[in-house]
Amino acid sequence: MQTVHDFPEKSGSASNRTARVLADRAAGEAYVASVCFKHGPPRLTGVELEFTVHHADDPARPLDPDVLASALGPHTPRTLRPGGPASPLPAGSPVSLEPGCQVEISALPQASLRELDAVVTADLHHLRERLARHSLVLGETGIDAHRAPRRLLHTPRYAAMERRFAPIGPGGLTMMCSTAGLQVCVDAGEPEHYAARWAAAHAMGPPLLALFANSRVHAGQDTGHASARWLAVHDTEAVRTRTAVVAGEDPAGAWAGRLMDVPLMVLPRGDRPWDAPAGLTFADWIDGRGAAALLPRPTVADLDYHLTTMFTPVRPQGYLEIRYLDAQPPDEWLVPVALVSALLARPATVEKVREVCEPVEGRWTTAARRGLADPALAAVAAALADLGCGELGATGLAEESITEISESVLGRAYRSRSEA
């Protein structure tokens, strides 16, 4: 997603970033702070939609990557067909694949939700038509309900990730190969407001995760958890997935410092295995400590790559990428996107979000395990539903869409609260 400031131009050309060696930790932190939090009026919204892919006649049958490539045709990502054109979908959304061949479309950011809806609707329709010609369908949940995780993309990055996560437990492979998320992308905001938007995006995470939890059944088994997807994410590396420190007035500085102290997950090395030296942080690499003494000095491009290995609930990329929502059925993606957009629409609403969510702050694990069966989360989710639905008029959606979204959100929130 692009923001009010264009990310590539802000950080320099690809060749400049590859050549620019980082002198010290301070230079690395300054770069991270400058590119991850870009200030300006919040006006653009984007969405990234991930889906598992299944054979229509037997969703438990293993997916054949060759069949998927034939279905995607010119849109097949180069991670699956290195020599292909990898063309975006007709309305402009690029297509990518996760390690288990989950399909992801990344809609270009739009100035209103009405425009975003038009773009995503057109590209989803085209994608589903192409898949249907090969008897394939998109999944409707945030985790593969039918198949055990199996890596289908054979790239150096994914091979190194699988080896890295294996000693920790099954969560890593499950996250990589079985999960599907819905990511809402919004501008960071103006200098006087972006810290509050950052804090609100985190604060509403547990109740919204609970409200839209959609990944209970995995590989044919009832996990007993509302969001088995989010639990799989957290069962990888805590340093990479835990919530950021959101208190204080300098999120950019805190995030930049954190990135320096996170160990490398993978180390791109051409045809050699991409496994990173154990425990080597980016700060170690800059300072030449330990195993870094044998490596070339890191560049800005290396730091850009390191940024892609963070899987936090909210990830700053010049904009705020809200990552904690489970995938929804293909025709229902707009509901959570509209609610998130409405809750961040105005500074006054942002402050109310923080107040409403304070009783359940940080309750990520409870939200993933119990969802709205937890009374406190159910109460806060209902309050957020009321607040957000009252702000939907600021999203640019048509009245008919606002009515439908409100009915969906409020029905979900209050029905679940009554059941709880």
- 131 is a domain residue: yes
Selection from 291, 290, 313, 322 nearest residue 234 by Cα: 313
- 77 is a domain residue: yes
Q: Is the pLDDT of residue 4 over 60?
A: no
Going by the DSSP 8-state scheme, the letter that residue 196 receives in this structure is H
Distance in angstroms (rounded) separating the CA atoms of residues 25 and 38: 21
Q: pLDDT, tens digit, for every residue of 226-279?
A: 999 999 999 999 999 988 666 667 899 999 999 999 999 999 998 899 999 999
Structure tokens at 99: 């390690």
Distance in angstroms (rounded) separating the CA atoms of residues 110 and 10: 20
- 195 is a domain residue: yes
How many separate domains does the chain show? 1
Q: Are the C-beta atoms of 45 and 184 separated by less than 8 Å? A: yes
Selection from 283, 207, 198 nearest residue 247 by Cα: 198
Neighbours of 60 (CB within 10 A): 13
Kindly report the CATH number assigned to the domain that includes residue 299: 3.30.590.20
- 273 is a domain residue: yes
Domain limits at 109?
Answer: 7-419
Lowest mean pLDDT among 32-46, 323-337, 347-361: 32-46
- 1 is a domain residue: no
Distance in angstroms (rounded) separating the CA atoms of residues 193 and 170: 40
- 228 is a domain residue: yes
Q: pLDDT, tens digit, for every residue of 170-227?
A: 999 999 999 999 999 999 999 999 999 999 999 999 999 999 999 999 999 999 999 9
Distance in angstroms (rounded) separating the CA atoms of residues 15 and 26: 22
**pTM of the full structure:** 0.94
- 2 is a domain residue: no
- 175 is a domain residue: yes
